[in-house]
Amino acid sequence: MAALAGSAVLALLSTACTGSNDTGGNDDSAAGKDVTITFWHGWSQDNEVKAINDSVAAFEKTHPNIHVKAVSNVADDKVNQALRAGGDDAPDVVSSFSTNNVGMFCSTKAFIDLKPQLQKSGIDPAKTFPAAMLNYTQFKGNQCSLPLLGDAYGLYYNKKAFAAAGIANPPKTFSEFAADAKLLTVADGDGYKQLGFMPLYHGYESTTEHFLGQYGATYFGEDGKSNLASDPTVAAMLNWQKGLVDQLGGYAKLEKFRSTFGEEFSAKNPFHTGQVAMAIDGEWRTAALAENKPDFDWATAPFPVPDDQADTWGRGYQTGTIVGIASTSKKQAASWEFVKYLTTDTDAVVNFANAIHNVPSTVDALNSPKLAADPNFKTFIDIAKNAHSGTTPPAVNGSGYITTLQNLGYDYESGKQSDLAAGLAATAKQIDTDIAQAK
């Protein structure tokens, strides 16, 4: 889905520059006159829409002259069509679920650079937002968006299955993880009654970028070129994942079992049903499990790390929702007041996080006593605070480079590509070519 969205956005943005940073910087809101701004966002579930509408209402109460018209369930491709067309129907403020598109939003100037507004408001981004979240909201010095709640990835494990296998604690290193995955795997004929962990990249959330988050991979060198072939952590991750695939039965057997899984965002998720005993997933899964109530006790922990980086245990991959101001907006002063409230007001951030079970996106909100954080959710709060946690860097062609690496992962795990060094070299070359064409 991210790849399709990225391609759609790239196709739209490559046709024309969508705006500039000097359109509508001031409006009548500064003088206390009534101003109405339009806010487009992607939330669509009833509880999510209610939560964002509650945030809007709270903002309007503190800014009685600024009115917000919120429009829900808007995808990135529609956003960019509107920004390209401009006019009265275009949004003033936009949020997006895809941090992969920040590089395009910034480089095409679809969103304004928020550094002047941050400076004028006395907000230091480095002290306000966790490092990983700040990193995925900017591109080449352009702070064209800010974080609006986040996601962190960790380990979910079946405590009943752990007890049956004689495992006392969740694994911290990959060697412990491999041993536990084997102990937790129960055969059933030529298949599985229970699988310790589904390592295939088509398994839910077991993607290359989520695994590489445990290694601290950099993706690009200082020259902007892909360093996937020269960064040893990338080959190490691909070999670790392939070793786990082979250990747990091989690609064909695992793929056959994967075909029996229910939908990821349902009560038929394989962790919910007990088909897998361990899973990598985001903080939102805690709410889903609490609602679906599987017939076993479960818990969370940071996902394991490489043995030679054992001191980084507690880290995890991070992503989230971003929000920016359209360059075409003629109401940027009012829009900034709204964006500032959504992203930096501690109570606003905490209330929104509590309502939709996402990770707060400011340092103060992460430490707020008002944050609803039971032990299982606290795991993800701690991951967001961890200095070793990271993300994937924005690129001018969005998620293109992630998709290219993922395709190598598919080929390598299945045995279609046996020469990893050659595969990584070709992948890096393709990524560089794609980015050059996008520029």
Tell me the residue type at 13: L
For 273, the domain range is 153-312
Q: At what angle do helices 46-62 and 346-356 cross, to 10 degrees?
A: 170
CA-CA distance, 130 to 387, in Å (whole number)? Answer: 9
Are 131 and 72 members of one domain?
Answer: yes
Take residue 406 and report the two structure tokens written for it. Answer: 């993922």
Give the pLDDT confidence score for residue 100 in this predicted structure. Answer: 82
Tens-digit pLDDT string for the chain (439 aa): 344 444 444 444 443 444 444 444 567 666 578 999 999 999 999 999 999 999 999 999 999 999 999 999 988 777 767 777 666 778 999 999 878 889 888 988 989 999 999 999 999 999 999 999 999 999 999 999 999 999 999 999 999 999 999 999 999 999 999 999 999 999 999 999 999 999 999 999 999 999 999 999 999 999 999 999 999 999 999 999 999 999 999 999 999 999 999 999 999 999 999 999 999 999 999 999 999 999 999 999 999 999 999 999 999 999 999 999 999 999 999 999 999 999 999 999 999 999 999 999 999 999 999 999 899 999 999 999 999 999 999 999 888 999 999 999 999 999 999 999 999 999 999 999 999 998 7
Are 303 and 201 members of one domain?
Answer: yes
Helix (H, G, I), strand (E, B) or coil at 350: helix
Are 93 and 213 members of one domain?
Answer: no
Give the pLDDT confidence score for residue 30 in this predicted structure. Answer: 63
Q: Is residue 417 part of a domain?
A: no
Q: Is residue 202 part of a domain?
A: yes
| Model confidence, pTM | 0.91
The full length of the chain comes to 439
Give the pLDDT confidence score for residue 86 in this predicted structure. Answer: 65
Give the pLDDT confidence score for residue 25 in this predicted structure. Answer: 56
Are 203 and 249 members of one domain?
Answer: yes
Give the pLDDT confidence score for residue 11 in this predicted structure. Answer: 42
- 367, 385, 403: which is the final residue of a domain? 385
CATH number of the structural domain spanning residue 264: 3.40.190.10
Are 121 and 162 members of one domain?
Answer: no
CB-count burial class (<10 Å; 0-12, 13-18, 19+) for 263: exposed
Take residue 247 and report the two structure tokens written for it. Answer: 């250990």
Within 179-329, strands assigned E span: 186-188, 191-197, 276-282, 298-301, 318-325
- 266, 297, 312: which is the final residue of a domain? 312
Question: pLDDT digit string (tens) for 238-297?
Answer: 999 999 999 999 999 999 999 999 999 999 999 999 999 999 999 999 999 999 999 999
Are 157 and 147 members of one domain?
Answer: no
Overall domain count for the chain: 2
CA-CA distance, 164 to 205, in Å (whole number)? Answer: 26
Give the pLDDT confidence score for residue 16 in this predicted structure. Answer: 40
Question: pLDDT digit string (tens) for 386-395?
Answer: 999 999 999 9
Give the pLDDT confidence score for residue 373 in this predicted structure. Answer: 85
Q: Is residue 422 part of a domain?
A: no
Helix (H, G, I), strand (E, B) or coil at 192: strand
280 strand-pairing partners: 155
Q: Is residue 403 part of a domain?
A: no
Are 277 and 167 members of one domain?
Answer: yes
Are 262 and 294 members of one domain?
Answer: yes
CB-count burial class (<10 Å; 0-12, 13-18, 19+) for 344: buried
390 strand-pairing partners: 317
Are 124 and 224 members of one domain?
Answer: no
Are 164 and 246 members of one domain?
Answer: yes
- 337, 363, 385: which is the final residue of a domain? 385
Task: Single out the residue of 276, 274, 221, 273 nearest to residue 244, CA to CA.
Answer: 276
Task: Calculate the alpha carbon distances from 37 to 70, 272, 315, 335 in Å.
Answer: 9, 42, 39, 7
Are 107 and 247 members of one domain?
Answer: no
Q: Is residue 375 part of a domain?
A: yes
Tell me the residue type at 333: A
Are 351 and 248 members of one domain?
Answer: no
The phi, psi pair for 37, rounded to 5°, reads -115, 155
Q: Is residue 117 part of a domain?
A: yes
